[in-house]
Chain A
Amino acid sequence: EDQVTQSPEALRLQEGESSSLNCSYTVSGLRGLFWYRQDPGKGPEFLFTLYSAGEEKEKERLKATLTKKESFLHITAPKPEDSATYLCAEAGQAGTALIFGKGTTLSVSS
């Protein structure tokens, strides 16, 4: 059974303090690794898709990277508005189901 594990469960940062979130997956033959942001009371909002080891994508203060068994979401100089739960998901061997990790709840204080 495919599994997605995210760490840490919660992360508290000061504004400007850079850090990374981890997402590890067990599926062989990855058909896509997805990062989402979720604000309280809202549905997840898409951030990035990664398909192959070595791939990187950036958006403002966020950069997602992918290795053969892990993905990292690097947050550079975060701001309070970056506070949210960050979810990762993999598309499974068949590329049909989307299996999510439990998420990392990020709190950034000023």
Chain B
Amino acid sequence: NAGVTQTPKFRILKIGQSMTLQCAQDMNHNYMYWYRQDPGMGLKLIYYSVGAGITDKGEVPNGYNVSRSTTEDFPLRLELAAPSQTSVYFCASRGIGQGTSEAFFGQGTRLTVV
């Protein structure tokens, strides 16, 4: 099992550009999450999903969009990138009812908007 895979690992965007951060999991987990992490600020929840076709806003959703058409994939879309979106983005998945229900994280995408 690969676990949670995020692509790309690094990306530089210009202000106003758009991009999609990819996240895939192969553990058949129903819950998936997107977080951003800024220095000294912990993990802030952007969006989450409890299953295919269902998404909900987290603490900091503005400037982002998500979709969940399959159990495996949960892409994060940035429209009109701004310098404030410079951050490290983490995707996670969690299998409710499968043991301790902890979340498993990807290795992150480091995004710089210039």
Chain A residues at the B interface, C-beta cutoff of 8 Å: 6, 9, 32, 34, 41-46, 49, 87, 89, 91, 95-103
Contacts and interface: CB of A to CB of B under 8 A. Distances in A.
B102 A49 contact: yes
Given A44-B90, A97-B45, A98-B45, A34 B96 contact: no
Main secondary structure of the interface of A (DSSP, over half): loop
12 contacts: A6-B42, A34-B102, A41-B108, A43-B4, A43-B105, A45-B105, A89-B43, A89-B103, A97-B48, A97-B56, A100-B35, A100-B43
Given A34-B102, A49-B101, A98 B40 contact: no
A108 B79 CA distance: 42
B33 interface: yes
Contacts, number: 58
A89 B48 CA distance: 15
B98 interface: no
Contact of A44 (B31, B44, B48, B105): B105
B106 interface: yes
Contacts of B108: 41-43
B95 interface: no
B92 A98 contact: yes
